[in-house]
Amino acid sequence: MLVHYALVLAVSVLSAVRGRILFRTGRHICVQEKQVAVPIPSRQTYWRPFYKKHVRRCSGDRLCTDYRLTYGMAVKTVYHMQLRTKYVHTCCPGWGQSSPRDKTCMTPLCGSGCENGGSCTNPSVCACPPGFTGTRCENDIDECASTNKCQQECVNNVGSYECVCQTGFTQADDGVTCEFCLTCFPEFAFMQESIEVLQQRVQHLEKEKNSMKDNMTILSNDYERAMSYVDELKQNKEIYFTKPVPRTSRRSTTPPPTPPPTLPSTPPTISALDSEQNEQPELSYVHEMLASLSEQISMLEEQMVVCTCKDYN
């Protein structure tokens, strides 16, 4: 390490002397030895072929020119690759550049990355958000297993926890404490439903009660009318049987006809009384009386017709 720092210091001094500062110390910059292949030029001779002009005498005392292949000495430059050790400036392990143009290495690097929203603060060190732990923030912390603020029950979630209340309690605005809630019990809801059903039944019974009152009023009026009609029939019967019958001739032995008893203008019909017999037990007796009276009236009318015919004869 001391050798590396010495080399960094030496390079910095040399760079300052040359008028250019590439890197500064203390910015996570390290000097590394690097083997590089450097081309080394060298001159080399060789035999190079070329064509040389040659003049000869041809037939007819003429001069002919041709070319002949020959070799001559030549020199060429040859490059040989030679490995040399070179000192280069790179970021120290665990550090990197924020951009290719950055001259410093101030960005920490975490090889596997940080999970669950963690941030890399140092080489291979992640700063985890609340609720997570581990070198890469990959582990969830169970807050319910440790100290928490819940008053009743705790439910662990990913990265946090949630407080819940038991049956019969409701959660307060702070999300931690629980308040008593009577309407939250299932028995209370069942009781409310039962009360509503009972209220509906009571309303139904009230309607039936009012309807029965109306029916009783109608039956009472009908009963009074029937009784008044019976009284009139009794009075007419007494008048008819107690009045003396004058004799108009010796031959007639039967009393003179008597006008029929006056009947009410609108007497109740027997069919109406029959329909009301099931609704009021007292009307059965009235019905029987009316039936017997009707029969007696019919018999009287027949006798009156017979008597009238004898008087005329």
DSSP 30-46: EEEEEEEEEEEEEEEEE
C-alpha 150: how far from its chain's center? 26
pLDDT of residue 67: 86
Q: Which residues, 6+ apart, have CB-to-CB distance to 215 below 8 Å?
A: 279
Burial of 290 (0-12, 13-18, 19+ CB in 10 A): buried
- Other C-beta atoms closer than 10 Å to the C-beta of 59 total 6
Print the SS3 string covering 168-224.
CEEECCCCCCEEECHHHCHHHHHHHHHHHHHHHHHHHHHHHHHHHHHHHHHHHHHHH
Residue 95 bridge partners (DSSP): 108
**Fold equal for 110-141 and 144-184:** yes
pLDDT of residue 119: 92
For the chain, the domains span 2-108, 110-141, 144-184, 197-312
- How do residues 112-127 score in pLDDT, each as one tens digit? 889 998 999 989 899 9
Rounded mean pLDDT for each run of 10 residues along the chain, 313 residues in total? 46 42 62 87 90 84 86 90 87 88 87 89 90 90 86 89 89 90 81 87 86 82 81 73 48 47 46 47 64 76 60 45
Phi, psi of 289, deg, nearest 5: -60, -45
CATH of the domain spanning 144-184, picked from 3.40.50, 2.60.40, 2.10.25, 1.20.1250: 2.10.25
Which is the CATH superfamily of the domain at 110-141?
Answer: Laminin (2.10.25.10)
pLDDT of residue 21: 39
Which ranges of 55-146 would DSSP assign to H, the alpha helix? none
Q: Helix, strand or coil for residue 94?
A: coil
- Other C-beta atoms closer than 10 Å to the C-beta of 151 total 17
